[in-house]
Amino acid sequence: MSALFSEKIAKNIFKTPLLRNIFLVYLAIAILLPVYGIIFEVPLFNKIVIESAEDNAKNIALYLEPVIFPISNKLEGNYFSNKDVIGKIENIVSSFQLEKIQMFSKSGEIVYSSDPGEVGKINRKAYFREIVAKGIISSQMVKKDTKSVENLAVTSDVVKTYIPIMSNGSFRGAFKIYYDISSKKEKLNNLLLHSIYILSVMALIVLIAVVLYLFNTSKINLERSQQEEALRESEEKFQTIAFFAQDAITIMDDKGNISYANAAAEKIFNYPDRKMIGMDFNELIASGQNHEIFGKGFEAFQKELIEEASGKLVELNALRKNGAEIPIELSLAAVKVKGRWNTIGIVRETTERRMALRALRESEERYRSLFENSRDAIMIWTPEDKIVGANQSALKTFGYTIEEMIGLDLSQIYSNPEDQSRFKEELNQKGVVRGFEVKLRRKDSSVMDILLTSTVRIDKKRSILGYQGFLRDVTSQKMNEKKLRNTLDTLRKAMGAHIQAMSLMVESRDSYTAGHQRRVSDLARTIAMELGLSADRIDGIRFSAKIHDLGKMGIPAEILTKPGQLSKIEFEIIKDHTQIGYDILKGIEFPWPVAKTILEHHEKMDGSGYPKGLSGQEISLEAKILCVADVVEAMASHRPYRPSLGIEKALEEISVKRGTLFDSNVVDACIKIFRDKKYQLN
């Protein structure tokens, strides 16, 4: 028995009123029995000793009285000079083991004493006159080495007894006998101690017996209390589990009638307010084969598994209260209730699970179909880079049979081992890699370009199970792209040549502006780069700027080369060159908005430009860039009607009209390339 359990038993004794009171009563008895012996028996024994000494003293007095006292009734000291009298007295002292004997006259004078030195002394104490002289026997116990009331020392335990001598009611004298009680007292004390010892032992035995009884009783009560507490806790746990359980829990008697059903059972079968109690569980099972399965299973369970119940799952269809059938899983277990075997039925509705399983099967079928019928190669490999799965497209792509492919190390299909390491590292870091371009080898050692997309397969603990990848052979696509790029480069060169030819045609009609379009083109390209436009868009701006004055082909040469100031009519004719250029180019399919850019390159932010008077966001960014580049180059270059104004004057012009005529961002970029990056017009 553990110390902790023993401590609980002891505490239980004091917690139980009846046991506590019994223990305290017997404890009091065990303590009081020895105390009783000391308090009550010791005085009683002393009284017995004194009374015994008094009786002996009386007998001695009766014996000595006729011998000692003369007939004259007068007791005198000279009377005791008679050797015969003294011999009798001494014989009495020796025979009765007296400590001492004294004889008093009527007046209290000691006329005889075993101690001759005391003869002649007078007892003047009040008790002698008031007690002894009146014929009353007086006794006192005097302990060894103490003094009596007469202040006389004694050498042993004695009982001092005064025996008055009376004659016809008259006091004649008295005997004072010192009776030695040392031996008797010692015997009585030994007897007393022995009795007290016996009483103490008996009390201790009784106390131990009571404690053992109380301990055993407390143990039984505590065990019963613990069993009851455990039963309550078990009941509470069962009720809690049953209440919160998602599965239906029912208890049935040996006839299959329901004696308990939890909340989940009422919800699943739709029988609220304990209406399932008393029902035959068979009523909850769908008809037909389900009844047969349940009936046989329940009967077999009762006959064979009743003592070693280990539930087996049975799939059945059950019935709700409204008659609707639901799929369930049923397991049975045995439990004893009030000495009789009962059956616990645990029911789980499997509607959602069956739907999930169906969806899973359909998903697996779709995946299998995708895996087998995909035009892309699909492979699955382990963390050790061993291939464990491959579809038909993969076999066809690499030229292996399925037997050859399974177990193949990926290093055997990589053309460059570094690509394998780089791809695996990136895949482990990101979990998915899309569009990884790599060169892989076929079985015949030919190399192909592959576009690889792969994902990591992990478990719930985030451990890597393996990898799966989709591989697309883009070898033909790469070759076609290369051919296309070559063709595009050829077209670009041809188009550049045509643009250059057009530019030269314009310049051939206006010798004063020779090189203008080329310089504007380079400046516009540089501004576009500063603005961060795409390379393709920059190319479009560059091409547009190279032929932005193409419309001047339709302007009379004498106006273009006129050395003086143009008239208003002549300037209006000049303004038509944007529309003419647009009309020439609008039917040609450029990869950029060339015609639109040329049409708008003289439009201004405030709408004061031409030919349409566009403003703000209505003007394309390409036209805004071309407009600024055209103005800066024109002001910085020589013209037939004026000398060059210089680049600083040009930058000042666009800076002053920033935001009104010219786009602010374009102006800022233009000034930055000249001031900060030291751009120069060639």
Average confidence score pLDDT of the chain: 79
- Residues 6 or more apart whose CB falls under 8 angstroms from that of 410 comprise 381, 385, 386, 387, 420
- Residue 632, exposed/middle/buried by CB under 10 A (0-12, 13-18, 19+)? buried
More reliable by pLDDT, 163 or 610: 610
Region 374-473: CATH code: 3.30.450.20
Region 245-355: CATH code: 3.30.450.20
More reliable by pLDDT, 92 or 441: 441
Residues written for the chain: 682
pLDDT at 210 over 50: yes
**Cα 137 to Cα 6, 70, 173, 184, 318, distances in angstroms:** 64, 22, 12, 22, 112
More reliable by pLDDT, 457 or 664: 664
* Residue 345 Cα to chain centre, angstroms: 34
**pLDDT given at position 266:** 85
**pLDDT given at position 131:** 87
pLDDT at 49 over 80: no
Region 488-675: CATH code: 1.10.3210.10
Per residue in 291-300, pLDDT tens? 666 666 666 6
**DSSP SS3 for 341:** strand
Q: Where are the alpha helices (DSSP H) in 586-644?
A: 594-600, 621-636
Average pLDDT for residues 94-104, to the nearest whole number? 78
DSSP state of 41: I
For 342-408, the DSSP string reads: EEEEEEEE-HHHHHHHHHHHHHHHHHHHHHHH-SSEEEEE-TT-BEEEE-HHHHHHHT--HHHHTT-
More reliable by pLDDT, 632 or 8: 632
Strand partners, 458: 464
Domain 31-187 has CATH 3.40.50.720: no
Residue with tokens 């359980």: 245
- Residue 673, exposed/middle/buried by CB under 10 A (0-12, 13-18, 19+)? middle
**Contact, 516 vs 637, CB < 8 A?**
yes
| Range picked from 20-34, 417-431, 532-546 for highest mean pLDDT | 532-546
Confidence category of residue 518, pLDDT binned at 50, 70, 90: confident
Average pLDDT for residues 464-473, to the nearest whole number? 88
**pLDDT given at position 648:** 93
pLDDT at 41 over 70: no
More reliable by pLDDT, 23 or 313: 313
pLDDT at 64 over 80: no
Which residue type does 363 have?
S
Average pLDDT for residues 69-97, to the nearest whole number? 66
The C-alpha angle 610, 614, 615, rounded to 5 degrees, equals 125
Residue with tokens 């009550």: 40
Confidence category of residue 21, pLDDT binned at 50, 70, 90: low
The C-alpha angle 589, 592, 598, rounded to 5 degrees, equals 95
pLDDT at 307 over 50: no
For 42-88, the DSSP string reads: HHHHHHHHHHHHHHHHHHHHHHHHHHHS-TT----GGGGG-HHHHHH
More reliable by pLDDT, 510 or 658: 658
- Residues 6 or more apart whose CB falls under 8 angstroms from that of 182 comprise 144, 156, 157
The domain spans of the chain are: 31-187, 245-355, 374-473, 488-675
Of 24-38, 77-91, 429-443, 556-570, the least confident? 24-38
Of 2-16, 30-44, 505-519, the least confident? 2-16
Confidence category of residue 311, pLDDT binned at 50, 70, 90: low
**pLDDT given at position 618:** 95
- Residue 345 phi/psi, 5-degree rounding, is -110, 125
**pLDDT given at position 128:** 83
Per residue in 352-382, pLDDT tens? 877 888 887 877 777 777 777 788 888 899 9
Confidence category of residue 537, pLDDT binned at 50, 70, 90: very high
Strand partners, 109: 122
Whether 31-187 shares its CATH topology with 245-355 is answered: yes
